[in-house]
């Protein structure tokens, strides 16, 4: 029987533990997540497509995993998608999808390259994955007018640190909230998520 990972994925972990978790999950991730009706990639992609000035400019899919988020971005019309992730094994899945122009592995402390006016982080920031500070790192990598589309699941939003990051950016005037929608994430485990689109000011 294939090992299941979804129920153990929302535990606090340091970057090495997170990478090991996703390396172990990589070959069965797509099947397990599909079984549970993973809806957030399409929601993020469609929200970003509604707010982006165009669909052809380079987009960074941060925490691209096995590429389900890239496939959803392609389906929404984006044409030039690059992906970065902590887990080399998840990236192998992304390479097989054929949705990305380039893919690379990053360390948790690596700077995020500039030059992208569009960044997505679908299912990436949260308990058991990238820390709340990732919001600031991704916003910081955008130029003024650039867009960050991301999701936070309900587990993650129980920790006020995560909402605190984006609220602080709105209060400081470094970002503007263009879109926020609560909706379906993984109906198989009755988990919902909130999708956001922020504009860097």
Q: Which residue is nearest to ligand SAM (CB)?
A: 65
CB of residue 18 vs ligand SAM: minimum separation in angstroms? 5
Residue 52 vs 137, nearer CB to ligand SAM: 137
Nearer to ligand SAM, 61 or 117 (CB): 61
The smaller minimum CB distance to ligand SAM, of residues 23 and 201, is found at 23
Residue nearer to ligand SAM on the CB measure, 18 or 156? 18
Distances (CA, A) of 21 to 8, 70, 106, 138, 154: 9, 21, 16, 23, 20
Minimum separation from the CB atom of position 19 to ligand SAM (A) = 6
Binding site residues, ligand SAM, CB under 6 A: 15, 18, 22, 41, 63-65, 68-69, 85-87, 90, 106, 108, 122-124, 129-130
Furthest CA-CA distance within the chain: 51
- Continuous segment of H or E residues that includes residue 101: none
């Amino acid at each position: 029987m294939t090992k299941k990972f979804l129920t153990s994925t929302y535990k606090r972990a340091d970057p090495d533990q997170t990478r090991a978790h996703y390396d172990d999950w990589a070959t069965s991730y797509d099947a397990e997540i599909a079984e549970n009706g993973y809806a957030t990639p399409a929601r993020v992609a469609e929200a970003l497509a509604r707010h982006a000035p165009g669909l052809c400019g380079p987009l960074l899919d941060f925490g691209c995993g096995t590429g389900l988020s890239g496939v959803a971005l392609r389906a929404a019309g984006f044409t030039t998608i690059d992906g970065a992730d902590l887990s080399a094994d998840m990236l192998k899945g992304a390479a097989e999808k054929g949705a990305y122009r380039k893919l690379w592995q990053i360390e948790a402390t690596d700077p995020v390259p500039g030059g992208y006016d569009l960044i997505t982080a679908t299912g990436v920031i949260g308990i058991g994955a990238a820390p709340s500070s990732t919001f600031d790192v991704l916003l910081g990598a955008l130029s003024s007018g650039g867009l960050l589309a991301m999701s936070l699941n309900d587990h993650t939003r129980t920790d006020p640190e995560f909402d605190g990051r984006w609220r602080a950016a709105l209060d400081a005037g470094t970002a503007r909230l263009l879109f926020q929608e609560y909706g379906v994430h993984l109906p198989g485990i009755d988990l919902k998520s909130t999708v956001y689109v922020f504009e860097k000011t």
